[in-house]
């Protein structure tokens, strides 16, 4: 064939981090069919969907089976009942400016993160390191120039904005609570980024997928910060909050006050979604809305409390052993320094071989992840306790 390909794909690693890990684990399992494996790698939920959610979905299925209440194509930006429920949630977390009309329902945060570069021109991109690899990969695939702000032990993995002199208007990614480090920005820390974006004419893409894990007094949404409606898009998800990793539903907030060159960003995003996306199923959206209702919300919080108990159990072991770590408080992730100063992939092989435990090497999240390791608390309590006993012998 003589067509030209998007050769920017040659700039990303050949396999996606979690596909690479899954492949290594499959190989280990084939070679060791009798070994038990404790999966603490990908941040995938394990508890079943709460009852209020499945009841709402069952009801939706019944409606789909009846001519009078059947639903065809969903509205392109989400059903009003779900946009209203998400907006009410924002009111409860201190951001009443997030009205239903600026919420765009989607099939998940990862898709929106990958799709947003469609509406953005060739701007410089600023990304924290370490961070969720999708930000880097989706910008590399579009040929964008990326600079990194360093998350390190010294700044508690919460990088501050660079000096604002000579900075071109940029697209800035922030994830708080952070994947992989579990670090969460304070009000002051996030205000510094909002002020930086306003001063430099930049756009922040704020990933709030782990918001529901925050238990300390920290911002749950960037729209708690004054000025954010003029410089930030927020992406969030039902995956970790309501256990929707396999169901698929999320949303993006694009305030009408975001403008560049006299054009509203919401106009381009709405156009992009209407053309390239056909919405989320009625059944899924009914389930998502139920997760934000009284009983459903309580059930989701109970699941989060379950995962956080796992995180506390792991954190206690590493504290007792004097192993440096972050996270585990406002996050389902524990980010630890590999004992013995070995690299993350070496530690990965070592604990897989010795303990049958799968985690994620820090190197997969950026250069500053070198020598660190991420564990998730999304497994069962029983398996987490088994892992804790094994980690005690490190």
**Residues at the interface with ligand MLT (CB under 6 A):** 42-44, 110, 132, 179
Mapping DSSP to helix (H, G, I), strand (E, B) and coil, where does residue 202 land? coil
Tokens matching residue 52: 């209020």
44 or 59: CB nearest ligand MLT: 44
Nearest partner of 347 among 328, 316, 325, judged by Cα? 325
60 or 358: CB nearest ligand MLT: 358
79 or 335: CB nearest ligand MLT: 335
What gap in Å lies between CA 259 and CA 257, rounded to an integer?
6
Task: List helix spans (H) across 133-186.
Answer: 133-140
18 or 268: CB nearest ligand MLT: 18
Residue 106: CB minimum distance to ligand MLT, A: 14
255 or 364: CB nearest ligand MLT: 364
**Angle separating helix axes 294-321 and 381-392, nearest 10 degrees:** 10
Q: What does residue 39 show for φ and ψ, rounded to 5 degrees?
A: -90, 110
Q: What does residue 239 show for φ and ψ, rounded to 5 degrees?
A: -60, -55
Residue 113: CB minimum distance to ligand MLT, A: 9
43 or 356: CB nearest ligand MLT: 43
Mapping DSSP to helix (H, G, I), strand (E, B) and coil, where does residue 255 land? coil
307 half-sphere exposure, CB direction, 13 A CA radius: 33
Q: Which residue has the tokens 């990793």?
A: 245
Residue 149: CB minimum distance to ligand MLT, A: 19
Residue 211: CB minimum distance to ligand MLT, A: 14
In the complex, residue closest to ligand MLT by CB: 43
What gap in Å lies between CA 382 and CA 302, rounded to an integer?
17
Q: Do residues 58 and 71 touch, judged by C-beta distance below 8 A?
A: no
Residue 378: CB minimum distance to ligand MLT, A: 8
20 or 84: CB nearest ligand MLT: 20
What gap in Å lies between CA 180 and CA 372, rounded to an integer?
10
120 or 377: CB nearest ligand MLT: 377
Tokens matching residue 288: 């998502």
Residue 44: CB minimum distance to ligand MLT, A: 6
Residue 261: CB minimum distance to ligand MLT, A: 32
| Counts of helices then strands in the chain (DSSP H, E) | 12, 15
What gap in Å lies between CA 141 and CA 12, rounded to an integer?
7
Please count the other Cβ atoms lying within 10 Å of the Cβ belonging to residue 150.
16
Residue 18: CB minimum distance to ligand MLT, A: 6
**DSSP state at residue 9:** G
Residue 81: CB minimum distance to ligand MLT, A: 26
Residues 6+ positions from 352 with CB-CB distance below 8 Å: 24, 25, 28, 358
44 or 88: CB nearest ligand MLT: 44
């Amino acid at each position: 064939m003589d067509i030209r390909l998007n050769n920017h794909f040659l700039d990303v690693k050949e396999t996606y981090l979690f596909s690479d890990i899954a492949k290594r684990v499959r190989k280990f399992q084939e070679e060791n069919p009798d070994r038990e494996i404790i999966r603490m790698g990908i941040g995938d939920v394990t508890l079943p969907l709460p009852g209020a959610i499945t009841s709402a979905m069952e009801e939706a299925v019944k409606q789909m089976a009846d001519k009078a209440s059947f639903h065809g194509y969903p509205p392109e930006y989400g059903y009003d009942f779900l946009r209203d429920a998400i907006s009410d949630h924002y009111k409860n977390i201190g951001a009443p400016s997030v009205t239903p009309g600026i919420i765009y329902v989607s099939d998940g945060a990862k898709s929106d993160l990958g799709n947003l570069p469609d509406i953005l021109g060739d701007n410089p991109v600023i990304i924290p390191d370490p961070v969720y690899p999708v930000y880097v990969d989706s910008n590399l695939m579009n040929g964008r120039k990326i600079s990194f702000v360093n998350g390190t032990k010294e700044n508690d993995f919460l990088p501050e904005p660079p000096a604002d002199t000579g900075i071109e208007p940029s697209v800035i990614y922030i994830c708080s609570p952070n994947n992989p480090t579990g670090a969460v920005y304070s009000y002051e820390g996030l205000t510094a980024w909002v002020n930086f974006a306003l001063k430099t004419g930049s756009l922040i893409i704020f990933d709030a997928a782990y918001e529901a894990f925050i238990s300390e007094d920290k911002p749950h949404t960037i729209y708690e910060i004054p000025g954010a409606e003029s410089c930030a898009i927020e992406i969030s998800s039902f995956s970790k909050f309501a256990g929707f990793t396999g169901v698929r539903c999320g949303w993006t907030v694009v305030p009408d006050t975001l403008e560049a060159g006299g054009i509203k960003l919401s106009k381009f995003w709405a156009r992009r979604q209407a053309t390239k996306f056909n919405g989320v199923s009625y059944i899924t959206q009914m389930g998502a809305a139920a997760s934000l209702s009284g009983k459903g919300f309580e059930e989701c919080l109970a699941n989060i409390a379950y995962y956080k108990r796992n995180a506390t159990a792991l954190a206690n072991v590493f504290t007792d052993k004097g192993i440096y770590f972050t996270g585990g408080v406002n996050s389902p992730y524990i980010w630890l320094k590999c004992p013995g100063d070995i690299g993350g992939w070496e530690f990965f092989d070592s604990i897989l071989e010795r303990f049958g435990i799968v985690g994620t090497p820090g190197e997969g999240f950026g250069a500053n992840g070198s020598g660190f390791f991420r564990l998730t608390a999304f497994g069962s309590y029983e398996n987490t306790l088994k892992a804790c006993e094994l980690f005690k012998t490190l």
